[in-house]
Amino acid sequence: MSSPGFVTVSPDLLDALSAVAGTENVITDPAGVETLSKDYYWYSPVLRRRLEERRASAVVKVSSLDVLRDVVSLAVKAGVPITPRGAATGNYGQCIPLYGGLVLDLSGLDAIVSIADGVVTAEPGARLSSIENAARAKGWELRCYPSTWIKASVGGFISGGSGGIGSITWGGLRDDGNIKQIKLLTVEESPRIIVLEEAESLLAFHAYGTNGIIVELQLRLAPAVPWEQMIIASTSWDALLDFTQAVAEDPLIPKRLVTVLEDPIPSYFKPIKKFYPAEHHLTFLEVATPKAAEVKARAEAAGLTVSHQIPHHEPRRAPMLSDYTWNHTTLWAIKADERITYLQSGFGDNYREQIRLLHQRFPGEMMFHLEFVRGAPRNGAMNRVSIGSIPLVVFQSEERLKEIIHYCTEIGVFTANPHTCYVDEAGRANDFEQQRALKLKVDPKGLLNPGKMKTHPVNPFVVPGSMPQFLFA
């Protein structure tokens, strides 16, 4: 087992880790280590090729802050890389160690400390579904969450995710004070806690666990709403988009999900195919129950078919339409046809024309899945939406994928490249200079998920010429 720069955890360190974390929480068997070293990187054929050999040398599961401090201190003294892991639902290989060492499984550090005054305080391993359920019991709900909410951890969402269900109203995680506070543990011989408040907390947001180990965080919540789920079908792409955009932009309709799926994408959703007609484009909505009748009437007046409605149920139960939206859409598509991969795009106001151009240039290679999210207010208008998209692409070659991304740029479609494991190549609007500065402060020896912040100057493990190179290197 030797990918370039691979760091083996020594028997002495394993003994010391077992003494502080418990022997049962130190995993060294190759199959267990392999499983706990991987995430959903295989969504990308590019990442799959580059990362399948990469794994940890050992895994440590921690479930208390005291144990975490001891583990970090031992790893720092030994100069061993540490890669944090939540539930490993990230899909850019974020929690795959590039240089062996330790994977730090934080899923056991999962307390929900408090829910009060519209703020949840939680440990990083708490599942988003646990937080949502606990919040709803107190009259609150998450402002936004990923479609992996049943399994994903809140620490992993902050470190590797961006937004999801709820983003039509609240924007992404980085918007509007959605993150109130982050507490980080430093990676030093004597680890310290650093508290980042409000806007400063964004320095540790979407950093792939490179600039501090999140040990507690605070998210702002929204008042709980009963949500009705609706499937609206049409053979007319334009009629469906006219209706969907109007609902998305209507400030009087509270909503949590506005997803559009181009035919044939709905044909991939085997468990729910009975709820809609074949060969139709679909819109999936979650709207406030008191508005559902009005939305239904508007759809029917526009000549669309409301093919299924699911009343609110507490707690939520299957079928949940959100299981087929955001990056779950991609999962169902890959299950049905393993040639499929994806992009993450931001379209302009002229999105229909941009989609038409992409179809024309790459016939039969792209299928469009749109996520309407709240946009930045422009010209004083607060009800603007942005058209996010996770288009499906029938993968042909890396060259072709590059060509598609280049053409997207040419016609004004933004791409957050999901075919790289480097945070600074992914195209998100991070403030890398400040994120690098935080890393120097928190992780002076460069031990934390080394390599993932590619432009960070301290990487003691790099072997010249051997860092995985992705599409645009």
- Site residues, ligand FAD (CB under 6 A): 39-40, 83-91, 94-95, 106, 124, 146-148, 152-153, 155-157, 159-164, 208-209, 213-214, 326-328, 331, 449
Rank residues 182 and 225 by Cβ distance to ligand FAD and give the closer one: 182
Rank residues 5 and 451 by Cβ distance to ligand FAD and give the closer one: 451
Q: How far is the CB of 321 from ligand FAD (least distance, A)?
A: 13
Question: Among 105, 36, 122, 32, which residue's Cα sits nearest to residue 71?
Answer: 105
Cα 116 to Cα 145: distance, rounded to the nearest angstrom: 19
Rank residues 157 and 243 by Cβ distance to ligand FAD and give the closer one: 157
Cα 68 to Cα 109: distance, rounded to the nearest angstrom: 9
Radius of gyration of the chain from its Cα atoms, rounded to whole angstroms: 22
Q: β-strands 281-288, 112-116: how paired?
A: unpaired
Residue positions counted in the chain: 473
Rank residues 16 and 150 by Cβ distance to ligand FAD and give the closer one: 150
Q: How far is the CB of 381 from ligand FAD (least distance, A)?
A: 26
Q: How far is the CB of 39 from ligand FAD (least distance, A)?
A: 5
Cα 64 to Cα 123: distance, rounded to the nearest angstrom: 10
Rank residues 292 and 453 by Cβ distance to ligand FAD and give the closer one: 453
Q: Is 48 exposed, middle or buried (0-12, 13-18, 19+ CB in 10 A)?
A: middle
Rank residues 56 and 358 by Cβ distance to ligand FAD and give the closer one: 56
Cα 336 to Cα 334: distance, rounded to the nearest angstrom: 5
Q: How far is the CB of 457 from ligand FAD (least distance, A)?
A: 20
Could you write out the DSSP letters of every residue in 353-406?
Answer: HHHHHHHHHSTTTEE-EEEEEEPPPBTTBS--EEEEE--EEE---HHHHHHHHH
Instruction: Give the DSSP letter of residue 193.
Output: E
Q: How far is the CB of 252 from ligand FAD (least distance, A)?
A: 26
In this structure, what token pair is assigned to residue 239? 């009629």
Residue type, 274: K
Helix axes 398-410, 351-361, angle to 10 degrees: 150
Count Cβ atoms below 10 Å from residue 11 Cβ, excluding itself: 9
Q: How far is the CB of 323 from ligand FAD (least distance, A)?
A: 9
Closest residue to ligand FAD, based on beta-carbon distance: 156
Q: How far is the CB of 86 from ligand FAD (least distance, A)?
A: 3
Q: How many H helices and E strands in the chain?
A: 13, 21
Rank residues 291 and 328 by Cβ distance to ligand FAD and give the closer one: 328
Q: How far is the CB of 303 from ligand FAD (least distance, A)?
A: 31
In degrees, rounded to 5, the angle at the alpha carbon of residue 258 between the alpha carbons of residues 257 and 261 is: 125
Is residue 187 within 8 Å of residue 76, measured between CB atoms?
Answer: yes
Rank residues 221 and 306 by Cβ distance to ligand FAD and give the closer one: 221
Rank residues 6 and 326 by Cβ distance to ligand FAD and give the closer one: 326
Question: Among 15, 1, 9, which residue's Cα sits nearest to residue 79?
Answer: 9
Q: How far is the CB of 156 from ligand FAD (least distance, A)?
A: 2
